Amino acid sequence: MDNLARLKLRTNEPDEAILRDCLESAKAAIMARRYPFQEWPYELERRYLDLQFRCAMDIYAKIGAEGEISHNENGVNRGYESSWISESLLQEVTPLAGRVT
């Protein structure tokens, strides 16, 4: 099952454009972390596909709460990190760097 189908199943979101945008944002964040000093390849490495799904879920869960730092309501406390994707997820990416010549 591809990541778009997984997102549709988990979110019940009828608008595929929103889900595709979440997946693209997740991919860009992973690529930026993976290739900090060079151009990115077009495709995401296979080993990062599940991470892309989890990052996209993280992004989707925060839609409507952009920029929220903390929120308390009816005994429920929410606080988000400064970025759209939790740093703990992005720490799973191993950066590649070229060698100095």
- Report how far residue 35's alpha carbon sits from residue 43's, in angstroms, rounded to the nearest whole number: 12
Question: Pick the residue with more confidence: 17 or 63?
Answer: 17
Rg for the chain, CA atoms, rounded: 15
Q: How many domains does the chain have?
A: 1
Considering the domain boundaries, does residue 82 fall inside one? yes
Give the count of beta carbons closer than 10 Å to the beta carbon of residue 40. 13
Q: Which of 52, 53, 2, 4 is CA-nearest to residue 29? A: 52
- Residue 47 lies in domain: 3-90
Considering the domain boundaries, does residue 85 fall inside one? yes
Considering the domain boundaries, does residue 48 fall inside one? yes
What is the value of pTM for the model shown?
A: 0.82
Q: What is the pLDDT of residue 78?
A: 66
> 3-state DSSP helix/strand/coil percent for the chain, to nearest 5?
50, 10, 45
Considering the domain boundaries, does residue 99 fall inside one? no
Give me the mean pLDDT over the 44-48 stretch. 97
Q: What is the pLDDT of residue 79?
A: 65
Over the stretch 52-73, which tens digit does the pLDDT of each residue have? 999 999 999 888 766 666 666 7
Q: What is the pLDDT of residue 11?
A: 95
Q: What is the pLDDT of residue 63?
A: 83
Report helix, strand or coil for 43.
coil
Q: Which tokens sit at 77?
A: 């406390």
